């Protein structure tokens, strides 16, 4: 998608980008300092509504809050989704502070400490088991607390999903229990004092190919159908993962949600309805829920020409928005969509480099981007900043102040 398409999604007023209904310079004045992250409530809501309209009614939406744990966002989404997935003790507390009930919070991720597991068991949330060590810790915590832990087994599938920005299943993994080991684990731990609800299969992240996502969902249901034969009771939890990607670069096309949904309707009405009448399938999403609603806004503090190349130096950078610099696991660095936000309607006329204020060449936010003439005090806006922004960036690097975050 081109930057102009992102501008159109937010809208403009007198040539200025509008975020949360406000022209950018007014929003910047209200926040009081740059850089900052702003998340647009209306866009968040529109995304949830779009998903609800497309996906089968029986499908439950879970928010993977590591994508954006800002408390206002978590509270806002908690009123709109069915579940929250957390990945640490702190995230668990934030989720438990919302109106989502504990039994609708799941805790995934490798390396859960005994203390975190105990906290999760005590709260009654679903612990998604990544190893037999975790299983033993959960059982010990249940014994100790006199409670029956609620558990799902995260399965490392015996298939890999192509086209994911980050692969998290198939082959050797730190995530989940290998599919071929699960039957033995179920036998060994049968009757061991936990409430084993079902399975979670998360194969990968940032996938823009609907057919590959649909195929992964079909194979996941096949896999769970095999594994569920080893459960004492009916399957009650079927977390199909997610992996829905968003278009970060000009080459990326948005995911065809309707194509994913059509395949999921078939699965839900067919195999899932027949085999798992007591399980609500869960789709777990991070960036697809929040990523496109957010912008990172940073101010030009210097403009210089070096051997014919114009550099706009901004007061933000990779210490806040690491992904936009291409250093968040990307194999190839490509520009994130970026505009001069207080002149969002103007056409680009020259290729400039937008660089952050860190003393490293890695701090490159825009490499030869076509921007309208821009100077000191102009506001540079980077789109697709609603997920894996502030909390996925090395904020302490060089000791600059932490930016504000606002939900508008």
How many Å apart are CA 69 and CA 388, to the nearest integer?
9
Q: Verify binding: residue 47, ligand PLP, rule CB under 6 A.
A: no
Work out whether 104 is an interface residue with ligand PLP (CB under 6 A).
no
3-state DSSP call for residue 313? strand
Residues 55-84 that bind ligand PLP (CB under 6 A): 64, 66-67
Q: Considering beta carbons, is residue 17 or 290 the nearer one to ligand PLP? A: 290
- Nearest approach, Cβ of 399 to ligand PLP (angstroms)? 29
In the chain, count of helices (H) and strands (E)?
12, 22
- Pick from 27, 77, 108, 121: which binds ligand PLP (CB under 6 A)? 108
Residues from 338 through 357 that contact ligand PLP (CB under 6 A):
none
Q: Which of 271, 266, 246 is nearest to 257 (CA)?
A: 246
* Rounded CA separation 63/83 (Å): 6
Written as six digits, the tokens of 373 are 């003439």
For residue 40, state whether it binds ligand PLP (rule: CB under 6 A): no
- Tokens 């909390």 found at: 391
Element (H, E) at 1: none
**Residue nearest ligand PLP, Cβ-based:** 286
Which CB, 98 or 342, lies closer to ligand PLP?
98
| Residue closer to ligand PLP, measured from CB, 318 or 387 | 387
Q: How far is the CB of 64 from ligand PLP (least distance, A)?
A: 4
In angstroms and rounded to an integer, the radius of gyration of the C-alpha atoms of the chain is: 23
With CA atoms as reference, report the closest residue to 170 among 87, 276, 243, 61: 243
Judged by CB under 6 A, the chain residues 194 through 213 that form the site for ligand PLP are 202, 205-206
Catalytic residues: 359
Give the tokens for residue 355. 């660089």
In whole angstroms, the minimum distance from the beta carbon of 241 to ligand PLP comes to: 6
**Sole residue written with tokens 């949904």:** 261
Residue nearer to ligand PLP on the CB measure, 64 or 364: 64
Distance CA 46, CA 77 (A): 12
- Residue 196, beta-bridge partner list: 151
337 forms part of the interface with ligand PLP (CB under 6 A): no
Q: How many residues bind ligand PLP (CB under 6 A)?
A: 15
Cis, peptide link before residue 35, omega less than 30° from 0: yes
Task: Return the number of the residue (201 or 364) whose C-beta is nearest ligand PLP.
Answer: 201
Binding mask 265-304 for ligand PLP (x = CB under 6 A): -------------------xxxxx----------------
Q: Which residues bind ligand PLP (CB under 6 A)?
A: 64, 66-67, 85, 108, 202, 205-206, 242, 284-288, 387
């Amino acid at each position: 998608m081109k930057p102009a398409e992102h501008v159109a999604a937010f809208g403009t007023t007198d040539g200025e980008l509008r975020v949360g209904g406000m022209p950018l310079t007014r929003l910047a004045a209200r926040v009081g300092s740059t850089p900052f992250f702003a998340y647009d409530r209306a866009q968040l809501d529109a995304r949830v509504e779009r998903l609800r309209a497309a996906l089968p009614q029986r499908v439950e939406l879970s928010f993977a809050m590591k994508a954006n744990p800002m408390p206002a966002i978590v509270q806002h989404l908690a009123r709109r989704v069915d579940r929250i997935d957390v990945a640490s003790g702190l995230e668990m507390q934030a989720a438990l502070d919302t109106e989502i009930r504990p039994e609708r919070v799941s805790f995934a991720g490798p390396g859960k400490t005994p203390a975190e597991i105990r906290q999760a068991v005590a709260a009654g949330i679903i612990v998604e088991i990544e190893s037999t060590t975790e299983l033993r810790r959960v059982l010990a915590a249940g014994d100790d607390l006199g409670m029956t832990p609620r558990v799902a087994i995260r399965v490392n599938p015996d298939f890999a999903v192509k086209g994911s920005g980050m692969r998290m299943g198939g082959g050797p993994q730190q995530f989940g229990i290998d599919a071929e080991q699960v039957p033995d684990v179920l036998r060994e731990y049968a009757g061991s004092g936990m409430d084993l609800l079902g399975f979670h299969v998360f194969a990968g992240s940032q996938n823009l190919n609907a057919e590959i996502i649909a195929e992964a969902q079909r194979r996941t249901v096949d896999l769970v159908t095999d594994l569920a034969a080893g459960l004492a009771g009916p399957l009650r939890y079927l977390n199909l993962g997610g992996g829905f990607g968003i278009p970060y670069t000009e080459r990326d096309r948005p995911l065809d949600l309707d194509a994913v949904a059509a395949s999921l309707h078939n699965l839900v009405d067919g195999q899932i309805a027949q085999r798992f009448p007591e399980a609500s399938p869960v789709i777990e999403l991070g960036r697809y829920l929040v990523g496109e609603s957010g912008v990172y806004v940073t101010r030009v503090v210097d403009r210089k020409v070096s051997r014919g190349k114009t550099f706009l130096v901004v007061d933000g950078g990779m210490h806040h928005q690491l992904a936009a610099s291409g250093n968040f696991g990307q194999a190839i660095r490509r520009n994130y969509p970026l505009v001069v936000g207080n002149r969002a309607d103007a056409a680009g006329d020259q290729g400039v480099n937008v660089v952050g204020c860190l003393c490293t060449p890695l701090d490159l936010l825009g490499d030869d981007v076509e921007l309208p003439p821009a100077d000191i005090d102009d506001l540079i806006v980077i789109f697709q900043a609603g997920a894996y922004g502030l909390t996925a960036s090395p904020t302490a690097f060089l000791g600059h102040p932490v930016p504000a975050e606002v939900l508008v």
